[in-house]
């Protein structure tokens, strides 16, 4: 049903690869998010929480660079441990604090000097305009549904994104105490589609109807990915998943597992994807003078 649509939407949907490290360890933690391009001018949309991660990465990395500079002259001091604790308090570093965060935009544009970012004031929606590029690397641009009112309960739609970060082209540099991208390892992650039925719509007093609820979850890493119909026409953008308790709870129920009786407990939830509606996205693009196409 969605074979051709996925191939078409994949032409302008791209992953953001991220690597991060916490203060409590040297392990590099990979992550991913999704953007999709709305014109051939290097303008894409994604979730506000994804855009904020991108914007915050420079501050996080610069702060850790200052921390390392202040730590360096303390290394040979007999009171190093005591002085280090003071430095950790100054920078508010706990074991779980993110101290490094680096992002890589895959097959989007040939080079980047910066961004213009517009964050929606209340919804999880953002516009990213790439700056300083010479050539775009995506092959097409999104075409939004002209009449968003045609998106009705019971309609089957699909989402596309990059929820499983299988790339491995990164490393922890022990000598530099730094995380870095490398020219070795796997530098791609496979795209992943997931279909679902429109179950309900999202609305509130401030925005009116602004979103679409789906019968299946949006997966981590699909945030910012397009929601589209069987023709590849964009109906929305995945931004979160909510979890509703079903009430089918079991506690200490005896079941047979590997030929022996065991007691298990299970608390059932349904996981429903939430998407920003195409009408809301188009209105936000128009507000900021961004050109887009309809179909």
Tell me if 237 sits within 8 A of 222, measured CB to CB.
no
Q: In this structure, what token pair is assigned to residue 181? A: 């991208």
Instruction: Round to whole Å and give the CA distance between 17 and 31.
Output: 6
Q: Which among 225, 184, 208 has a CA at the least distance from the CA of 280? A: 208
What is the per-residue pLDDT across 152-180, written as a single tens digit (0 to 9) for each? 999 999 999 999 899 999 999 998 899 99
Reference 220, options 54, 37, 47; nearest CA is 47
CA dist., res. 258 & res. 116, Å (int): 57
79: which residues sit within 8 A by CB, 6+ positions away? none
Please give the average per-residue pLDDT across 134-144, as a whole number: 97
Check if the beta carbon of residue 253 is closer than 8 Å to that of residue 233: no
Phi first, then psi, for residue 15 (nearest 5°) are: -90, 150
Q: What is the pTM of this model?
A: 0.91
For residue range 101-128, list pLDDT tens digits in order.
999 999 999 999 999 999 999 999 999 9
- Tell the CATH topology of 3-294: Thrombin, subunit H (2.40.10)
End-to-end, the C-alpha distance of the chain in Å comes to: 19
């Amino acid at each position: 049903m969605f074979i051709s649509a996925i191939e078409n939407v994949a032409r302008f949907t791209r992953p953001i690869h991220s690597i991060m490290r916490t203060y409590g360890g040297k392990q590099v933690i990979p992550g991913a998010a999704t953007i999709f391009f709305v014109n051939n001018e290097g303008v894409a949309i994604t979730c506000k929480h994804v855009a904020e991660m991108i914007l915050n990465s420079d501050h996080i990395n610069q702060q850790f660079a200052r921390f390392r500079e202040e730590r360096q002259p303390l290394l040979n001091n007999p009171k190093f441990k005591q002085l280090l604790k003071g430095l950790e308090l100054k920078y508010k570093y706990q074991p779980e604090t993110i101290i490094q965060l680096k992002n890589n935009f895959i097959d989007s544009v040939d080079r980047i000097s910066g961004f213009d970012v517009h964050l929606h004031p209340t919804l999880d929606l953002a516009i990213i305009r790439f700056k300083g590029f010479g050539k775009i690397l995506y092959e097409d641009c999104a075409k939004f549904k002209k009449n968003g009112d045609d998106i009705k309960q019971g309609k089957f739609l699909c989402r596309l994104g990059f929820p499983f970060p299988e790339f491995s082209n990164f490393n922890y540099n022990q000598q530099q105490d730094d995380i870095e991208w490398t020219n070795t390892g796997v530098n791609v992650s496979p795209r992943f589609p997931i279909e679902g039925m429109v179950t309900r719509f999202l609305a509130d007093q401030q925005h009116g109807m602004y979103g679409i609820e789906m019968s299946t979850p949006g997966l981590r890493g699909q945030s910012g990915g397009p929601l589209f119909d069987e023709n590849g026409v964009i109906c929305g953008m995945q931004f979160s998943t909510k979890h509703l308790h079903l009430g089918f709870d079991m506690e200490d129920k005896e079941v047979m597992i590997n030929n022996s009786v065991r007691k298990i407990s299970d608390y059932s939830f349904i996981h429903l994807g939430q998407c920003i509606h195409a009408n809301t996205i188009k209105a936000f693009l128009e507000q900021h003078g961004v050109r887009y196409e309809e179909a």
